Structure 1
Amino acid sequence: MTSKKIIERLQQKDWFVKCETEHELALVLNACLDTSVGWYDGRSATDIVYSDPFPILIGRSSKHWNDNLCFYVGLTDEDLKQHQDITDWFFEELRK
C-alpha cells in the first residue's frame, strides 16, 4: 500500500523519478496506480510494457501529455531543471 505522503506528492506535477531497473519502474507505476495517475490515452499506470534500455525517467509534467504520466525521453538539461527529481525521496519513502 502506498503511503499518503507518496500519494500526495505524485498527485502534484513537474516531478520525475529515475528508474535504473524494471523493478524500480514497477514500484513507481504501482504507486501511480494507487494515486490514480495514468497515461495520456486513459490507460492506467500499470497498463504499459516498457522495453527500452534503462535507466529511464518517468514522471508528470504540466507541459507535456496533459498532466499525465510520461517518459522523459529526449528532454534537455534545461527542460529537466523545470521538474523536481524526487528519485531519492520516493525510494526512501517506500522503505519506511
Structure 2
Amino acid sequence: MTNEQFIERLQQPNWSVSCKTEQQVDLVLQACRTAGISSDKREEIIKVLRLPIDIGFSKYFDTIEYAHNGAFKFLELENITSWFFDAIKKE
C-alpha cells in the first residue's frame, strides 16, 4: 500500500481506530493531520483523555472524534485498527 492509498482510505468516512497507548494516539492523530481530517483543538482534547480511546471519522463529523467503551457502535463505524497499525508498520 502506498502512502497515497493510505491517506485516501483515511479520508473516506465511517472508520474508527482503537488506541491503548499514547504512542498509538499520536500515530493516529499524525495520520489524520496528513490526511487533512483533523483539527488542533480536537487533537488537544484527545491527547488528555484517559486510555483506551477510540478515534473515529464519520460522515456525521467534520473532523475526527473520540469515544470510550465502544460508543461509536451506534454510528456503525468500521473498526480499522488492525489495518491501520499494519499499514503504519509497512511504511
Whether TM exceeds 0.5 here: the answer is yes
Q: TM-score, normalised by structure 2?
A: 0.81
Instruction: Pick closer, same or farther for the CA change 1:7–1:44 going to 2, 3 Å.
Output: farther
Calculate percent identity across the aligned residue pairs. 33
CA deviation after TM superposition for structure 1 residue 44, in Å: 7.1
Give the counterpart of 2:52 among 52, 55, 72.
55
Give the match for residue 72 of structure 1.
67
Alignment of 1:24-63 (within 5 A): 24-39=24-39, 43=40, 47-49=43-45, 50-63=47-60
- Counterpart check, 1:89 vs 2:83: yes
1:4-51 deviation line (CA, Å, top 9, x unaligned):
121011100010000000000000011111111113xxx377x52522
Q: Kindly tell me the number of residue pairs found equivalent between the two proteins.
A: 87
Larger helix fraction of residues: 2
1:55-77 deviation line (CA, Å, top 9, x unaligned):
100010112x33x1000247264
What runs of 5+ residues in structure 2 fail to find an aligned partner?
none
Q: Aligned letter for 1:59?
A: G
User: Structure 1 segments of 4 or more deviating over 6 A?
Assistant: none
Look up the SS of the partner of 1:48 in the other structure.
helix
